[in-house]
């Protein structure tokens, strides 16, 4: 497989009333075509800022971002978000409430001819397990179904890269885990490349081929889930993995009424 997304020593910062606040420092990663990468880390470590930079909403202070052979962002290049061929899916679904499922999915295909658009929408309804739901409205669907509509809408124009920002965090725990596996299955079946950000380790391990454990704007380790789990590169990654596993165990025990 070949490399699709390349973040090469990128730095990001925000201009605030108190001056420039650095957020991401000298971060690099490579993601192969067809792979799902995940940025995993505590709130505020800079995950969403990296995603926004890939989408073209944040300028780089240093480094470059390329997709295939195209440089998207660098010192002298800044491709507009709408020309990046990148799809996005957010935690709040962002579906249009007044449009049917079919129209939501076909929203980005308005320039396609009617027959091709209908064919693509039908294909996506089927892929997302929503056959027969095309005429329904978002409020008539469960959270998990709404999120599958959002995924279908993001995939409709066949983006080269899909960005998922905490896509499951508004769902209950069971739906969240099931949907993470379903989304992985859909992306693998269609061969899409994606980057997901989350602070939830179970989600990251359920969906990703590569995980980047982040801390204070830096990737501490970019590796396979197996590598992160079995060969953490430093004490921070080891503690992070252990702490989350311990918290999950405690939560399970609490739910079973075994702990206070």
Q: Which of 3, 20, 21, 26 binds ligand ATP (CB under 6 A)?
A: 21
How far is the C-alpha of 102 from the C-alpha of 241, rounded, in Å? 41
Q: Does 2 bind ligand ATP (CB under 6 A)?
A: no
In 3D space, the residue among 55, 26, 38 whose CA is nearest the CA of residue 154 turns out to be: 55
Among 3, 44, 249, 255, binds ligand ATP (CB under 6 A): 44
Answer for which of 117, 120, 153, 199 binds ligand ATP (CB under 6 A) is 199
Distance of CA 70 to the CA centre of its chain: 21
Task: Pick the stretch among 39-47, 84-92, 153-161, 201-209 that binds ligand ATP (CB under 6 A).
Answer: 39-47
Cα 67 to the chain's mean position, in Å? 16
Distance CA 215, CA 45 (A): 5
Nearer Cβ to ligand ATP (133/221): 221
E strands in the chain: 3-16, 19-32, 36-41, 62-67, 70-74, 77-78, 86-90, 161-165, 193-198, 210-215, 218-223
**Residue range at the interface with ligand ATP (CB under 6 A); choices 47-55, 126-134, 143-151, 244-252:** 47-55
Closest CA to 168 of 139, 201, 141: 201
- Closest contact distance (angstroms) between CB of 199 and ligand ATP is 5
The residue assigned the tokens 């739901």 is 133
Pull the structure tokens for residue 135.
């005429």
Give me the least distance between CB of 185 and ligand ATP, in Å please: 25
Q: For ligand ATP, which residue of 7, 37, 38, 48 counts as binding (CB under 6 A)?
A: 48
CB-based contacts of 191: which residues, under 8 Å, 6+ apart?
Answer: 33, 34
Task: Single out the segment in contact with ligand ATP by CB under 6 A; choices: 13-21, 69-77, 138-146, 181-189.
Answer: 13-21
Contact range with ligand ATP by CB under 6 A, out of 37-45, 78-86, 95-103, 174-182: 37-45
Residues making contact with ligand ATP (CB under 6 A):
14, 16, 21, 23, 41, 43-49, 199
């Amino acid at each position: 497989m070949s490399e699709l997304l390349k973040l090469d020593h990128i730095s990001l910062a925000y201009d605030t009333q108190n001056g420039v606040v650095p957020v991401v420092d000298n971060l690099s990663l490579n993601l192969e075509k067809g792979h799902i990468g995940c940025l995993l880390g505590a709130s505020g470590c800079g995950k969403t800022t990296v995603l926004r930079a890939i989408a073209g909403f944040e300028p780089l202070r240093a480094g470059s971002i390329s997709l295939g052979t195209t440089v998207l962002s660098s010192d002298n290049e800044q491709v507009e978000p709408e020309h990046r061929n990148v799809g996005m899916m957010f935690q709040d679904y962002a579906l249009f409430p007044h449009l049917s499922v079919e129209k939501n999915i076909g929203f980005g295909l308005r320039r396609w001819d009617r027959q091709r658009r209908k064919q693509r929408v039908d294909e996506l309804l089927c892929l997302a397990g929503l056959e027969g739901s095309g005429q329904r409205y978002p409020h008539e669907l469960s959270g998990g179904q709404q999120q599958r509509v959002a995924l279908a809408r993001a995939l409709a124009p066949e983006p080269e890269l899909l960005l998922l920002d905490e896509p499951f965090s508004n769902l209950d725990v069971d739906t969240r885990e099931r949907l993470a596996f379903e989304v992985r299955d859909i992306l693998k079946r269609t061969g899409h490349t994606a980057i997901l950000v989350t602070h939830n380790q179970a989600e990251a391990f359920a969906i990703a081929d590569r995980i980047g454990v982040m801390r204070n704007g830096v990737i501490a380790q970019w590796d396979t889930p197996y590598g992160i789990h079995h060969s953490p590169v430093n004490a921070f990654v080891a503690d992070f993995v252990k702490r989350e596993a311990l918290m999950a165990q405690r939560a399970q025990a609490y739910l079973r009424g075994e702990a206070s």
